[in-house]
Every structure is written in structure tokens, then in C-alpha cells.
Structure 1
Amino acid sequence: MTPKVHAMAQRIWNYHLLNNPLEKCDCIFVLCSNDVRVAEYAARVYLEGYAPYIVFSGGEGELTKGMFPASEAEHFAAIAADMGVSEEKILVEPRSSNTGENVIFTRSLLANRGLEPQRLMLVQKPFMERRSYATFMKQWPGKELVVTSPPLSFDEYPNEQLTYSDVINVMVGDLQRLRTYPDKGFSAHQDIPEDVWEAFESLVELGFTEHLISA
């Protein structure tokens, strides 16, 4: 990766991060994925007393087909239980296949349990914080949100599952969705600074297009 590509990717990474401070909430809502570090971080936050219960949401996505022995949510819940989270305090939503369904199905699950959290903590991968926030605000308006993620930098994030290229492709795709999804009714509008969008266009020209959607 050239210094120029790294700088543009870092700019988009920084934009996706919301940098919300941790606050006590009514519920920890974990959007599951292929990254078990999110499960571990969410469990630690729960064990530090930030909410009375934790819900894991996620079925099977493009990146997790065949990766886990069960759904993303069930796998993440098992990790949390192994770390000491009481199974009585864990809720599992194992059907969703995208961010919108994460919110819609979890909202239904909580309502069916008679739970009406007013302030929720969303736990997600760092580079998906902003889109998770925008989606939630559209699909479940009127709530207070704290959005957080494992405290990893752009250079610390890649691992055996996600290379630098993978991360850049997903970040670029998510930025495109932040721009186009409000018109489709999928998410709330987010202002995108000009320099961030210029970085997007440059990275697309360089071939980081694997996660883009057709216009």
C-alpha cells in the first residue's frame, strides 16, 4: 500500500468513527459480523456495568458463510458467556442479514420481551460506526445512542480475517451507502466532507470497488 492510499484510507476511517464516550445505557446492542473482537469488547463493556443486558444480532452474511458453527449472534453470545456474562442477561437475534434487519429484528425481539430501552449502546466494528448510527436513526428513531467499537487504529485493525485491502473496500462501500441509502429510506442523512468524498473517488479509481453497490 502506498503512502497516498494509506492517507486516503485513514481519512475515511476517521470519518466513519464517531468517537462517542462510553455512558451507562439501558441495553448493549451488538451488531455481529466476522470479527469476534467486537464480541469480546462488548462483553468487557457489559462486565464493567454499562448496561443491564446485552443483545447480539446477526445471522449469516457474505463474509461469514460457513465461518462459525452457528449464526453470528449465537457465536458472539457464546464468546460473551465464556467471558463471564450471565446467559440470563444475553438475548440473541440470529436471523438478520444486513444492518437494517439488525435494527428491525432486534427492535421486535425487545418489544416481544416487554423491553423498551431508551438509551442504547451500539457496538460495531470501528469503520462501521457511522453507518450503524445512520441506519439505527432511520429504523428506530427517538432513541438516545452511544456508538462504540474495539479501540483499534486503522493500522492495528487488519488481521487473519481482514487484510488492509479488505478493510479499505468495505469502508469505501459503506461511504457510498451513507451517500445513497438516505434516498432509499434505509438510513438517516449524514454530511460527508468534501475531502472525504474526494478520497472515496480516488480509491474507487484505484480499484477499491469490491464492496460497491450498483447505482
Structure 2
Amino acid sequence: MNGLVQDARDFNTLAEFLARRDVPQMSAAALQQAIGAPRAEMVLLFGGSLPEGCRLAGQLWQAGLARKVMTIGGVGHTTAAFLERFESALPAGHSATEGECMKEYLQSAFAIPEEDLLVERASTNCGENVRFALSILREKNALPASAIVLHDSTMQRRIGATLDRWWPEGVTRFVHFAAYRAQLEAGESGLTFAPNHIWGLWQPEHYMSLLLSEIPRLRDDDQGYGPNGRDFIAHVDVPEAVEAAWKRLADRYGHLLRPRPTT
């Protein structure tokens, strides 16, 4: 059990680093401090952020904390699992892309009007998410001066680095807010989630795989996605404590590491 307790701590160390939140909670006061206004012009809602992220985006719009919502995502490696989690919320069916599915949910659950929604439906990975969304916003002359960035907690750190890499500098003030924060704990049968109300949360093993596989991608070395590697993202400083936790976990859970794409 002691080994599992340490494993849970280490996975939670990775999760805390990856699930970037620039403010402790979303409010007009927090936005005022982060972006200089009590309401953001837009929510950038990235595919893969689970139904929990979509619900949060709708709540932000409903509370008047964002004027518009842009849903972003085509078909990628998590799409099938992502769409499956929406079936109970959209019993009449949904579109095949993440961007369209999220838009349909927001219209159904929050009655967000068409004029307050934008959608990107062709991207297949994190870099395309940003570049294709940027292209659409430029075409519509709709680049926001401020935006709340919502992604899956395992991807929030990377989407920030991707925005830093591809978004025009000084145009948009971003405030990052991971869609959820989950905690793992040691149990008699292994690692499991602490009690939570996160809608559509991954199975524990899949979540652990996402966490463990993300750190090598963030590294700025010849194997990572940073400028010294694939140049997909801006440089990310990975703290020593995170690297130490990752090394301990990789020795025990190496079978959960997902291969990195070759293109």
C-alpha cells in the first residue's frame, strides 16, 4: 500500500502541473485581475476537454463571464471516447466531430444562440486546433482581445505552450482554466479517483496514461515538442519535482506510456 500511496502522490504532482489554472476560480473579479475586464470576449473550448469542460463553458457564458464560445476540434485519437461521453446529454444523436458535438451540446443545454458560437471542425491534433481556430477567427475578423482557454486537465499546460508558439503576440490576453482537477488515491485494488462530480471523467488507467505520456511531449529536447525538438510548442520549464515524480512512475508504469506521433 505504501508504494501505491507514493504513486498517487506522484500522479497528482503531474496532474497539478499539467492542469494549469491562472486563477483559483472563475469570477468577474478574477477576470478583472487576470485580463483587465470582468468578462472575456470569448471562451476557446478545445476538443478532448470532456463533457465537464463543455458544461463549464456553458456556465461561463450563462453567467456573463464570456461573450462568445468557440468550440474547437475535428477527429483525433480521443474522439470516439469523447463522443461516447455525450450520448446521454444528446440522446437524439450528435455530429461526428468534437467541435460540432460541443456546439450542439451548448445549444441544447444552455440555449446559446448561433451568433454567440463559432466552431472549428477540421483539426486533428493540438497544433492544428490552434492554427485552424486562428485562421477562422482571422477570416471573420474576430480575433478576441481576451479569451478563457478551456481544455482537458491533462492538456491545459500544452495548449498554453501551443498558443504561445502560434498565436500572434500581444493580440489576445489569455486566462487558462483547466476544465477539471481530479485526485488519485490508493485503494485496496489499486489507484482510483477520490470522490468527485466530474462529468465524463476518464477511467483511472487511461487518465494515468495521459498524465504519464504528457511530460515527454512537453520537454524541450530532441524527442519533445519544444523548439529544440519537433517545434510544435513554445519552451516549457518542467519543474524538477515533476520530472522526479515522472521518473519514479515511468519505472513502474512504463506500459502506460503512449507512443508519440511521427508527423
The Cα offsets for residues 112-137 of structure 1, whole Å up to 9 and x where unpaired, read as 11112122211111222111101111
Counterpart position of 2:258? 211
Offset, 1:106: 0.3
**CA, structure 1 residues 157+191, in 2 after alignment: closer, same or farther (shift >3 Å)?**
farther
- Which residue in the other structure is 1:181 paired with? 225
Q: State the aligned residue count.
A: 215
Amino acid in structure 1 at the alignment position of 2:258? H
Question: What does 1:141-180 correspond to in 2, within 5 Å?
Answer: 141-142=168-169, 143-154=172-183, 155=193, 156=196, 162-179=202-219, 180=224
Match of 2:188 in 1: none
Answer with 5-14 or 109-118: which moved more: 109-118
Counterpart for residue 134 of structure 2: 107
> Residue 11 and residue 197 in structure 1: after superposition, are their counterparts in 2 closer, same or farther (change >3 A)?
same
Stretch moving more, 145-154 or 120-129: 145-154
Determine the C-alpha separation between the residues in 2 that align with 1:98 and 1:172: 18
Structure 1 residues without counterparts, runs of 5 or longer: none
Aligned-partner Cα distance in 2 for 1:157–1:59? 27
Pair member with larger Rg? 2
Matching residue within 70, 74, 79 for 1:55: 70
Give me the TM-score of the superposition, normalised by structure 1: 0.90
CA distance 1:40–1:13, change in 2 (3 Å): same
Return the alpha-carbon distance in structure 1 between the equivalents of residues 152 and 166 of structure 2.
19
User: 1:28 aligns to what SS in structure 2?
Assistant: strand
Q: How does 1:1-215 map to 2 (within 5 A)?
A: 2-21=4-23, 22=26, 23=31, 24-33=39-48, 35-65=50-80, 67=84, 69-82=95-108, 83-142=110-169, 143-154=172-183, 155=193, 156=196, 162-179=202-219, 180-182=224-226, 183=228, 184-208=230-254, 209-213=256-260
CA RMSD of aligned residues (A): 2.2
Counterpart code for 1:189: H
SS where residue 126 of structure 1 aligns?
coil
Hey, what does 2:88 align to over in structure 1?
Answer: none
Query: Could you give the per-residue CA deviations for residues 66-86 of structure 1, whole angstroms, max 9, x where no partner exists?
Result: 746421111111111112211
Q: What is the rounded CA distance, in whole Å, between the counterparts of 2:240 and 2:46 in structure 1?
A: 29
Aligned partners of 1:198, 1:51: CA distance in 2, in Å? 38
| Mapped contact 2:40–2:65 kept (Cα < 8 A) | yes
Distance 2:197 2:12 in 1: 12
Identity %: 22
Alignment partner of 1:185: what SS? coil
What is the rounded CA distance, in whole Å, between the counterparts of 1:34 and 1:20 in structure 2?
17
- Measured after TM superposition, the shift of residue 103 of structure 1 is 0.4
Give secondary structure in 2 for the equivalent of 1:27.
strand
Q: How far does the alpha carbon of each residue in 1:146-193 deviate from its partner, in whole angstroms, 9 at most, with x for none?
A: 111334432338776621111111112111111011122211111111
* Partner amino acid, structure 2, of 1:163: Q
* Structure 2 stretches lacking a partner, 5+ long: 32-38, 85-93, 184-192
CA contact (8 A) 1:11 1:196 kept: yes
Check the 8 A contact 2:180/2:198 in 1, yes or no. Answer: no
